[in-house]
A and B are shown apart, each in its own frame.
Chain A
């Protein structure tokens, strides 16, 4: 497909475990973003990658959250020692360049037991 691809689509894990979420952006898109969507907080920015520049991590809620983008393409969001408040839908988006429209994947629905 030509859109943003995220895996897994659903993840259930126990509190305290680590999880990895994957995002495959649209081919040729240089910018990649992670957002979180929860009932109480709506859609919130987490982190932004652009080319080889240092990522904008200003939205990460704690040091348990980290992300990397390898080879300017695929990105992985890692949450260590998960807590129940981490339960949410994690959405990835990509854009052709900065300030261009962002296109979203269908997200990973994360549930912490």
Chain B
């Protein structure tokens, strides 16, 4: 079993729709949870960072963490064509500093 499972997509949605992205993980040592956005030929850009179960909201973005189910989600409201990118979930263990990444989900928001 992989440490992290993330659907590669592509996920295609119409402009204005809600984008829903998910990742599951198996390593109980994961304590910090992140979502990154990566445009083509650019580095990953941090969107959300959290370490507790529950919801965290930032503008159009909501991150949801369920540690008991080892499941994290990212929701993008009122999606725009500029949201078209690859979204990467990532984890940090409490005892280490290296990020473990999911494979990324490619999202296409069509005008």
Contacts and interface: CB of A to CB of B under 8 A. Distances in A.
Interface of A: 4, 31, 33, 35, 42-43, 45, 48, 50, 56, 58-59, 91, 93, 98-99, 101-107, 109
A4 B43 contact: yes
**By DSSP majority rule, is chain A's interface helix, strand, loop, or mixed?**
strand
B98 A104 contact: no
A62 B77 CA distance: 44
A94 to B, nearest CB: 11
Interface residues of B, number: 21
Interface of B: 32, 34, 36, 41-46, 49, 88, 92, 96-104
Nearest to A41: B103
B27 to A, nearest CB: 14
A101 B57 CA distance: 17
A7 B103 CA distance: 25
Contacts of A105: 43
Contact of B97 (A98, A107, A109): A98
B44 A42 contact: no
Nearest to B88: A43
Contacts of A99: 32, 92, 97
9 contacts: A35-B99, A42-B103, A48-B98, A50-B97, A56-B96, A91-B43, A99-B32, A101-B46, A102-B46
